[in-house]
Amino acid sequence: MLDIRKQGNFLNPTNSCAQYYRDIMEVIVLQHLGKVLVVDDDPNILELVKLYGEKEGFEIVGISNGDLVLSAFNRENPDVIILDIMLPGKDGLTLCRHLREIRMVPIIMLTAKGEEADRVLGLEMGADDYVSKPFSPRELVARIKAVLRRTKTPEILTNWNLKYPGLTIMADIRKVFVADKEIEITPKEFELLLYLAQNPLRVFSRENLLSAVWGYDYFGDQRTVDVHIRRLRKKLASLTHEYLTTIWGVGYQFTAPSKEREEIYE
């Protein structure tokens, strides 16, 4: 069992409650960094990621052919996938779609510098983040840590659920139900929807959402938010009420009135 008392002096109960929980989350994630499946046909990139990743405490598994990815995924059960787009065998975009059908593991795409179309397609296929080549290995490791912090949230932070007409967000088990039927949702889609639903009627700029959901260490562009909102709207399209509203020139808001919200504490 993790003893947070041994992790240093930063767990100060006089800090704000939110900061205190963030400190606990940081300790838990850094104690269990996890396994990373890296898919790239460049042996130099595989070696570089392995070197820096293992130095930070990750277990790195490298794959150089797209045809081997699905079997490696089922065998290794990784916590994060780093996926290049151009691969021998199955390409990265096809693999991203197939992986999403199996399990909602965080996926970071590797794209060529300046290839905006590839970045958008990767996000459309369900990727959570992307890094453009050539990249800093420290930046990539920082992004891996960031997606793990967001997906391995301790139960202490998610002991309640949200219920709106036709829409239920189960924060404790990270699931979303539309008309009592579970929908498939990626980790980043879930976090974005949850954040907006926790703050109904509040308007967030794209910069606000990048900072809150992707983290201060996210270096991507604002279209990332647009793509995820578009995917969420498709998944909520059967609802009579449109929860995700665009405020032109400003950003997005969750439009259900606060009085319609029901918080269920476990």
Share of the chain above pLDDT 70, in %: 76
pLDDT at 26: 47
Measured between alpha carbons, how far is 221 from 224 in angstroms, rounded to an integer?
A: 6
> Could you report the per-residue pLDDT of 137-192, keeping only the tens digit for each?
888 888 888 888 766 654 334 446 888 889 999 987 889 999 989 998 888 899 89
pLDDT at 217: 52
DSSP, res 243: -
pLDDT band at residue 228 using 50, 70 and 90 as cut-offs: very high
Residues 6+ apart with CB under 8 A from 230: none
pLDDT at 42: 93
Residue whose tokens read 């009420």: 241
Q: Give the domains, in start order, of the chain with CATH numbers.
A: 32-151 (3.40.50.2300), 158-265 (1.10.10.10)
Residues 6+ apart with CB under 8 A from 181: none
Mean pLDDT (whole number) for 188-203: 89
Measured between alpha carbons, how far is 32 from 145 in angstroms, rounded to an integer?
A: 11
The amino acid occupying position 222 is Q
pLDDT at 66: 93
pLDDT at 131: 87
Peptide bond into 134 cis (omega under 30): yes
Sheet containing strand 251-254, strands side by side: 203-205, 251-254, 244-247
Q: Is the pLDDT of residue 213 over 60?
A: yes
Task: Check: CB of residue 261 under 8 Å from CB of residue 250.
Answer: no
> Could you report the per-residue pLDDT of 9-36, keeping only the tens digit for each?
334 444 444 454 455 444 444 445 689 9
Mean pLDDT (whole number) for 254-262: 66
pLDDT band at residue 260 using 50, 70 and 90 as cut-offs: low
pLDDT at 8: 40
The amino acid occupying position 39 is V
pLDDT at 15: 44
Of 46, 5, 43, residue with least CA distance to 23: 5
pLDDT band at residue 263 using 50, 70 and 90 as cut-offs: low
Helices (H), the chain: 17-31, 43-55, 69-76, 92-102, 116-124, 137-151, 187-198, 206-209, 223-235
DSSP, res 66: G
Q: Is the pLDDT of residue 41 over 90?
A: yes
pLDDT at 232: 95
Q: What is the pTM of this model?
A: 0.59
Measured between alpha carbons, how far is 40 from 221 in angstroms, rounded to an integer?
A: 23
> Could you report the per-residue pLDDT of 55-79, keeping only the tens digit for each?
988 999 999 999 999 999 999 999 9
Task: Check: CB of residue 138 under 8 Å from CB of residue 48.
Answer: no
Using only C-alpha atoms, the chain has a radius of gyration, in whole angstroms, of 19
Which structure tokens are listed for 100? 């999403």
176 pairs with which residues across the strands? Answer: 169, 183
pLDDT at 177: 94
Measured between alpha carbons, how far is 127 from 104 in angstroms, rounded to an integer?
A: 10
